[in-house]
Amino acid sequence: MLAWAVPACDHGGMVDLGLRQVSLVLFDGFELLDATGPLEVFGQVGDRVGVTLVGPRSGPVASSQGIRLMADVAYAGAPAPDIVLVPGGSGTRALAGDRDWLAWLAAWAGPARLVASVCTGAALLAAAGLLDGHRATTNRRAADWVAGLGPGVTWVQDARWVEDGDRWTSAGVSAGLDMALALTATLWGQAAADAAAAAMEYGWMATPCG
């Protein structure tokens, strides 16, 4: 059992307002809502954001639930990313030990403007070294496993999500919705985030410590 930091509830105020591109990383056994919750939020933002689904191959990639999303492009051909989002899911268990894949993730995602994860997606960021020196959180139930992959990370317990500069991480599954709304507020303004939550009829947990 690793020591956990006290919650850090600061929330960045930067507003970008520009056109952004989100690259979502799919893999066999991703958790469906970890991916589609944030994608629904970004879909509400309209033409200020583009989304690319990156997978082991272009074509269908199966979630833990067996539901298949279509990847637009394979890892090997993925363009340099702007914003990277990594979901969790049962598939993280194998990938967290796959050194070749982690090396690809570190090299590809490292230079991105912002790297984010939902749930046990933080295991992959941690194992790739992408969270070293940062504060981060993850699914509560998998917390000890994930924390063991990132000894150089300050793990924050009981946060709904954690913003630490260019590394954002959320707690389990549905927390990705709240983080994506906060990211929307940061990138395109509070009004855009409020409008997205209203259109989704969603009771946004709008503070990082929920």
Among residues 120, 121, 114, the alpha carbon closest in space to that of 167 is found at 114
Contact 15, 187 (CB under 8 A): yes
Provide the 10 A C-beta neighbour count for residue 18. Answer: 10
CB closer to its own copies, 53 vs 127: 53
Q: Is 113 in the site for its own copies (CB under 8 A)?
A: no
119 flagged as catalytic: yes
What single-letter DSSP state applies at residue 136?
E
Q: Is 182 in the site for its own copies (CB under 8 A)?
A: no
CB burial readout 156-189, b (16+ within 10 A) else e: beebbbbbbeebbbbbbbbbbbbbbbbbbbbbbe
Pick the binder of its own copies from 18, 93, 199, 207 (CB under 8 A): 199
Q: Is 43 in the site for its own copies (CB under 8 A)?
A: yes
Q: Is 47 in the site for its own copies (CB under 8 A)?
A: no
Q: Is 28 in the site for its own copies (CB under 8 A)?
A: no
Q: Is 76 in the site for its own copies (CB under 8 A)?
A: no
Instruction: Quote the least distance from Cβ 152 to its own copies, whole Å.
Output: 25
**Token code pair at residue 173:** 């599954």
Which residues sit at the interface with its own copies, rule CB under 8 A?
31-33, 36-37, 39-40, 42-43, 51, 53, 60, 63-70, 139-141, 171-175, 177, 199-203, 205
Q: Would you name the residues annotated as active-site residues?
A: 119
